[in-house]
Amino acid sequence: MIPLKRPLSHPSFIFNKSNSKSLRSLIKNTRSTNETFSSPIPIFYFKFSDSTMPIFAANSSSFSRVNTHFPDSVNQQTLTSKAQTFPQIRTFCVKRTNPNAELSASNDIPIVSTVSGPIQTSQPIDAGSSMRKPISLWPGMYHSPVTNALWEARSSMFEKSFAEKDSQTELVAKTPSMSRTSIAYKFSSDYILREQYKNPWDEMRMGKLLEDLDALAGTISYKHCRKDDGATRPILLVTASVDKMVLKKPIRVDFDLKISGAVTWVGRSSMEIQMEVTQSTPDSPDPSDSVALVANFTFVARDSKTGKSAPLNQILPETEHEKLLWEEAEERNKMRKQKRVAEKKDVDNRDEDRLNTLLAEGRVFCDMPALADRDSILIRDTRHENSLMCQPQQRNIHGRIFGGFLMRKASELAFSNAYAFAGAAPCFMEVDHVDFFKPVDVGNFLRFKSCVLYTELENPMKPLINVEVVAHVTRPELRCSEVSNKFYFTFTVRPEAMKEGLKIRNVVPATEEEARRVLERMDAERSQ
């Protein structure tokens, strides 16, 4: 249903003037009856919950609306009709046949809208009347079309808590299948859901998809840590990093989409969750060709009281595929540790020549701008920024800013930066490894700073634009600013735009610090 907050004088509410006197007469005669009546004007029926407060609802077969222009004290659940009953209004919901049932390991979470679009005929699924919403979890939690459903699915896990004595008992190892969860997007039939995810070019908003991946990974991590009876341990599970994600094929917003994932590797206090985005289209009907993106999320566990690392349930891979995924994850974990050690070493002397080569053109821009290459541009001239206050409505279940929200904001700023730089709509290619250095709390002043770090122009029909986004947590009262996250996105432009004469410029650093950042990113790309 679509809530409306507008007066009855709005153009959407049209009375038949010829019958207006009879309607007013009926209202006057029935003001104290507290009954439901059918209006002489077919478009409306109405009910008086008391002697002074009317509630109107449209009765047309082509749409369903509830007028909420009147005060919130009116209980909408008492509204009845001969034709239909209006349930509690929830924008998106989880289909659950039993309100007391726990989230099953193989359960698909359908994401549907509760409003009918112009071409949507199926009845919406509404779980708002039966879904239990613990008051400690729901107020202020960040919601989007998918996270709304995931919070509902996750809430059942929190309604039972470990007893103090149980939290110290031995943790039971679990199989990957016990945490596997899928979420389905019915884009082909759900017009309203499709509208939430398409950009101005009728393509997928990749930022929202990254946001949903993080939300689903969080749900999977909690499924892995809960007991068989649904009780949850008093631990905090937070996103530590996200491995490089490469788009294997374009994702379309007019075909059904599915995200699925499971825990594939567990250390002492960290776990890796592999996510798959699949979509079957007429171009790729083969299921083996339906994988559009693979993402690996690393979550770490912290004791909710002390903040120290907390042990996790170990993993027991069963199938050959699960064992292969475990081995691959183990190798990635070793590589991450080696990378952290390598990053502490100083830059070798052999990189001095590369630094000087990168800085040569930048010095011309700074010292002799009239003679600079017109096909190049300085990094600092590609900068864009976005600032926002972290509001309570954006917090997650731990009271901190939802990690997926940060990823979406960074992705959208990177897209805008690439768009302004290229002069044509960019196409998402990949997002490199993401580290979450500092948590972001409600009330923090968050600044996203982006720039085009470098371009790759070897293939003239498919140039690559590498965009860096750095998130700074700023606390004006303390006069401090810290880096929370670093994001690296790669975009390209369509071949049609290149054929029409579009030219992508080379980007050069002006300072040694910028040159070192460019070299670090180039080396990171080559090492993967």
CATH label of the domain that carries residue 378 = 3.10.129.10
Evaluate if residue 123 carries a pLDDT over 80.
Answer: no
Q: Is the pLDDT of residue 16 over 50?
A: no
Residues 308 and 401 in one domain: no
Assess contact for 265 and 176: CB atoms under 8 A. no
* CA 126 centroid distance within chain: 22
Q: Answer whether residue 84 is part of any domain.
A: no
pLDDT of residue 293: 94
Tokens of 520: 């670090």
Query: Residue 394 above 90 pLDDT?
Result: no
What pLDDT is attached to residue 229? 59
Residue 501 region by backbone torsions, left for phi larger than 0, else alpha for psi between -120 and 50, else beta: left
Please name every residue paired with 141 in a beta bridge, in sequence order, or none if there are none: 395
pLDDT greater than 90 at residue 323:
yes
At CB < 8 A and 24+ separation, what contacts does 319-328 make? Answer: 322/175, 322/176, 322/264, 325/176, 325/264, 325/265, 325/274, 326/264, 326/265, 328/264
**For residue 423, what are the domain limits?**
351-527
Question: Which of 108-112, 394-398, 451-455 has the least mean pLDDT?
Answer: 108-112
Question: Residue 176's pLDDT is what?
Answer: 94
CA distances from 338 to 333, 341, 434 (A): 9, 5, 17
Contact between 190 and 120 under an 8 Å Cβ cutoff? The reply is yes
Exposure string (b/e) for 113-150, b if CB count within 10 Å is 16 or more? bbbbeeebeeebbbbbeebeeeeeeeeebbbbbbbbbb
For residue 73, what pLDDT is reported?
39
| Residue 509 lies inside a defined structural domain of this protein | yes
Decide if pLDDT at 430 tops 80: yes
Give 225 or 465, the one with higher predicted confidence: 465
Residues 96 and 109: beta-carbon distance below 8 Å? no
Decide which of 42 and 512 is more confident.
512
Of 113-127, 164-178, 183-197, the one with minimum mean pLDDT is 113-127
More reliable by pLDDT, 414 or 183: 414
pLDDT at 127: 24
Q: Is the pLDDT of residue 5 over 50?
A: no
Average pLDDT over residues 498-520: 92
302 with 153, same domain: the answer is yes
Residues 290, 358, single domain; the answer is no
Q: Is the pLDDT of residue 90 over 50?
A: no
- Residues 506, 363, single domain; the answer is yes
The per-residue pLDDT for 298 is: 93
pLDDT exceeds cutoff 90 at 264? yes
Strands (E), 175-323: 181-185, 235-242, 245-246, 257-266, 270-278, 291-303
Average pLDDT for residues 312-341, to the nearest whole number?
A: 88
Q: Is the pLDDT of residue 356 over 90?
A: no
**CB-based burial of residue 202 (10 Å sphere; 0-12 exposed, 13-18 middle, 19+ buried)?**
exposed
What's the whole-number mean pLDDT along residues 368-381? 92
Average pLDDT over residues 114-139: 35
Give me the pLDDT at residue 187, please. 92
Q: How confident is the model at residue 29 (pLDDT cuts 50, 70, 90)?
A: low
Structure token digits, residue 182: 């899928």
What DSSP line would sit under 296-310, residue for residue? EEEEEEEETTT-SB-
Q: What is the pLDDT of residue 58?
A: 37
What whole-number percentage of the chain has pLDDT above 70?
A: 64
State the pLDDT confidence band at 80, using cuts at 50, 70 and 90.
very low
Whole-number pLDDT of residue 223: 87
Residues 304 and 429 in one domain: no
pLDDT band at 1 (very low <50, low <70, confident <90, very high): very low
292 plus 358 within the same structural domain? no
| pLDDT tens digits along 148-162 | 666 666 665 555 555
Burial (CB < 10 A; 0-12, 13-18, 19+), residue 311, is: middle
When pLDDT is cut at 50, 70 and 90, the band that residue 381 belongs to is very high
Is the pLDDT at 97 greater than 50? The verdict is: no
Amino acid 43: pLDDT: 40
Residue 313 and residue 356 in one domain? no
Domain membership flag for residue 150: yes
Residues 237 and 217 sit within 8 Å (Cβ to Cβ): no
Looking at residue 339, its pLDDT comes to 73
Both tokens of residue 241? 């990093």
Domain check: are 271 and 384 in the same one? no
Evaluate whether residue 121 is within a structural domain: no
Residue with tokens 């110290």: 168
| Amino acid sitting at position 494 | R
Rounded distance, CA 8 to CA 55, Å?
11
Of 294, 318, 342, which residue is a domain's last? 318
Average pLDDT over residues 331-358: 72
Q: What is the pLDDT of residue 509?
A: 95
What's the rounded Cα separation, in Å, for the pair 31 and 35?
9
Are 371 and 314 part of one and the same domain? no
Q: Find, among 436, 439, 438, 419, the residue nearest to 427 by Cα.
A: 419
For residues 313 and 380, membership in a common domain is answered with no
* Greater model confidence, 32 or 297: 297
Is 186 a domain residue? yes
What's the number of domains the chain is made of? 2
302 and 363 in a common domain: no
Residues 366 and 281 in one domain: no
Q: Hunting for tokens 């064992």 — which residue is that?
A: 323
- Greatest mean pLDDT among 109-123, 299-313, 332-346 lies in 299-313
Going by the DSSP 8-state scheme, the letter that residue 348 receives in this structure is: P
Q: What is the mean pLDDT of residues 437-442?
A: 88
Residue 29 belongs to a domain: no
In a domain, 37, yes or no: no
Domain-terminating residue out of 295, 318, 341 = 318
What's the pLDDT score for residue 198?
92
> Among 1-15, 251-265, 321-335, 387-401, which is the least confidently predicted range?
1-15
| Domain end (from 266, 298, 318) | 318
**What is residue 474's three-state secondary structure?**
strand
* 126 assigned to some structural domain: no
